[in-house]
Structure 1
Amino acid sequence: MLQLPCERAIFVDFSSEEEGALSVLAHGLPLHTLISHYLAAASVPEAFVLVVGTDQETVGRINETLFSLGTSPVQYLTNETSIKDRQALYLKGGVTAVTSRILVVDMLLERLPIHLVTGLVVLNAHRVKAESTEAFIIRLYRQGNTQGFIRAFSDAPERLSPIGRFSSLEKTMKALSLRKVQLWPRFHLTIKEDLEGEDKVVSEVIELRQPMTRSMRGIQAGLVDCLESTLAELRRASSRVCGGSKEEADGIRGSRRNDSGYGLIQGTGSDSKETAGTYMASVERTNQGFSL
């Protein structure tokens, strides 16, 4: 069952557009759970829903949720499924997932009664382009069936962001033959309230430091010597190479003498900020040396 209010709101949004729409969710939201509930609602008697743009692993995750809901699982058809078995499953109806290549062949050879399809569900809709196999499937579907719905889902909004003068979202919508899009970002009020909760908990981070051993200090000193030798050789070899200021060189030499330790910075406060600043400055100087 959908427990969070935002999940129920998204599911209602999914079911509101009977003609079809593209739903784009932010990363981290339970898209597969919501799709499972949508397919369970669409799995009514005499309904025939096709699912494309998915794989066997995703179908398995969807079927786990459908099993908990007491709904028939999604049948997954591949090239290993015989033609006779595919035709029998097409006539049986229900919710069926098919690989795009097999579905195109069955459509072109009229093994699939397109006019009997209730709807087409497209997963990973951000991958659908004008030249993609899924776009060709949608065109064949619309040529043989003008009444069925098309429902597309994506959880990769960055793949649909505008690029240059042309909008990737607009191209995807055209390839999907859809006009409506539903956006559910993480900053949506309903989602934000559920994720943060009533009591906002501020994470407390702690800095852990482990003193360096004698061997580690020796390795550090050797690396600094290598950096100094490499920089000196580059300065002699080419006057166009920016070797950095004397202060930076002194900083590299000074890092060899810093044997206070190393650690994972996990805290806040004046001491942590000072330590983090020293550490990042040392890393930056080292990276500058390697970039030469």
Structure 2
Amino acid sequence: MALKFQQQIISDLLEESNGGLVILSSGLSLAKLIASLLLLHSPSQGTLLLLLSPASQSLKSRILHYISSLDSSPPPAEITADLPANQRYSLYSSGLPFFITPRILIVDLLTQRIPVSSLAGIFILNAHSLSETSTEAFIVRIVKTLNGSAYVRAFSDKPQAMVSGFAKTERTMRALFLRRLHLWPRFQLDVSQELEREPPEVVDIRVSMSNYMVGIQKAIVEVMDACLKEMKKTNKVDVDDLTVESGLFKSFDEIVRRQLDPIWHTLGKRTKQLVSDLKTLRKLLDYLVRYDAVSFLKFLDALRVSESYQSVWLFAESSYKIFDFAKKRVYRLMKASDVVKSKEHVKNTSGKKRKSNASVEAVGGATAATGVVLEEVLEEPPKWKVLRVSD
């Protein structure tokens, strides 16, 4: 059963014959809201199409899950390109709800393989990713031209994406021919009451990073600071918002692009590269705690190959520390005599003796000549230890 605030959203949408744009806070069960709306659909109203994008596949599975749990009727099927044209035409005329990708729908609209007059409306599940030039906007324009009574209901549970750029929400509504905007933040009275009814149990687990990870983090912050100082020299951005602290958050890219979008075509190549470098560095900070040591080093090596000739951050003073510490988390160079001793008896962190499982490989076959070998370190991510303890 839909919650109280979801029932209010459904009531507001049903009152508006033209449809509307619904923006929810994250975690307010957008899938359940859409499933409840689908269960209210009647075949006599006409066919209902739900536009799918690659990013909304997980949302589709959750919608189907809620429909199966709320009602015993068969869930909406998906119209694919494998179906012949005459079968798709019959489905469009059936009055049932269907999932469909924008690519298939726009082709059928342009080739007149769909009876537009039989459409009741369109659901757009990823309103935050739309623009005036998107396929979804083109579909809505054609449908509204041929069937003015068809409604458009757009949904998004990523409000932060609706404030990027200049007047993103207004331009999205204009592209979808919508006049009604439904905003449902967490502090809305009905929403907050539902959330306070069963408050979640929060368990705070703090994970300390290893010494090498701390070194990589400090080096990335230093490189970010150097890139920010270079960007401030352009005198085209608000320096108050450009700080290392703000650069640690996801909204930093949006802040920079929002300032530079109006003058993006006038910026030099170096300034544009600095914007790209800041995004890459922030991604490195995220991957440092998410990836294991080997995957992180592999990602760094791929970056060095793909961005070596154009990147600015790779030539910063502290950038070498990032690669150096990342390598030390995976392997180290040792003398052959030391490796032989370490293979005999290696003490683990608890002080007990165990045999070393690390395989020792010669560097380029030069062990005999140089007496130096490559020993695996394979530093364990700190979060693994916490997971084992919590289990």
Per the normalisation by structure 2, the TM-score is: 0.49
Aligned to 1:124: 126
Aligned to 2:8: 9
Q: Quick check: 173-182 or 84-93, which moved more?
A: 84-93
Q: Distance in 2 between matches of 1:96 and 1:206?
A: 43
Q: Cα RMSD between the aligned structures?
A: 3.1
What is the SS of the residue equivalent to 1:24? strand
Indicate whether 1:91 and 2:93 are aligned: yes
What is the SS of the residue equivalent to 2:131? coil
Q: Is the alpha carbon distance of 1:207 and 1:97 closer, same or farther for their aligned partners in structure 2, counting shifts above 3 Å?
A: closer
**Deviations 1:67-98 (Å, cap 9, x if unpaired)?**
33133321211222222221121122211121
Q: Distance in 1 between matches of 2:178 and 2:163?
A: 17
Aligned to 1:185: 185
Does structure 1 retain, via aligned residues, the 8 Å contact 2:43–2:95? Answer: no
Q: Quick check: 66-75 or 97-106, which moved more?
A: 66-75
Q: Is the alpha carbon distance of 1:208 and 1:127 closer, same or farther for their aligned partners in structure 2, counting shifts above 3 Å?
A: closer
Aligned to 2:49: 50
Identity %: 33
Q: Distance in 2 between matches of 1:205 and 1:97?
A: 40
Aligned to 1:195: 195
Q: In structure 2, what residue type is equivalent to 1:117?
A: L
What is the SS of the residue equivalent to 2:93? helix
Q: Is the alpha carbon distance of 1:41 and 1:203 closer, same or farther for their aligned partners in structure 2, counting shifts above 3 Å?
A: closer
Aligned to 2:167: 167
**Deviations 1:6-51 (Å, cap 9, x if unpaired)?**
3333332333322211000000111011101101112343521111
**How far off is 1:65 after superposition?**
2.2
Indicate whether 1:20 and 2:19 are aligned: yes
Matched length: 216
Q: Distance in 1 between matches of 2:202 and 2:110?
A: 57
Does structure 2 retain, via aligned residues, the 8 Å contact 1:52–1:100? Answer: yes
- Structure with larger RCO (C-alpha < 8 A, sep 6+): 1
Q: Is the alpha carbon distance of 1:91 and 1:159 closer, same or farther for their aligned partners in structure 2, counting shifts above 3 Å?
A: same
Q: In structure 2, what residue type is equivalent to 1:11?
A: I
Does structure 2 retain, via aligned residues, the 8 Å contact 1:128–1:134? Answer: yes
Pairs within 5 Å for 1:88-237? 88-161=90-163, 163=165, 166-197=166-197
Q: In structure 2, what residue type is equivalent to 1:65?
A: Y
Q: Distance in 1 between matches of 2:119 and 2:158?
A: 28
Q: Distance in 2 between matches of 1:28 and 1:78?
A: 30
Q: In structure 2, what residue type is equivalent to 1:30?
A: S
Q: Distance in 2 between matches of 1:72 and 1:206?
A: 43
Q: Is the alpha carbon distance of 1:203 and 1:135 closer, same or farther for their aligned partners in structure 2, counting shifts above 3 Å?
A: closer
Does structure 1 retain, via aligned residues, the 8 Å contact 2:22–2:156? Answer: yes
Q: Which runs of 5+ in 1 are unaligned?
A: 210-218, 231-286
Does structure 1 retain, via aligned residues, the 8 Å contact 2:46–2:93? Answer: no
Q: In structure 2, what residue type is equivalent to 1:90?
A: Y
Q: Is the alpha carbon distance of 1:203 and 1:33 closer, same or farther for their aligned partners in structure 2, counting shifts above 3 Å?
A: closer
Q: Distance in 2 between matches of 1:203 and 1:62?
A: 27
**How far off is 1:159 after superposition?**
1.1
Aligned to 1:262: none
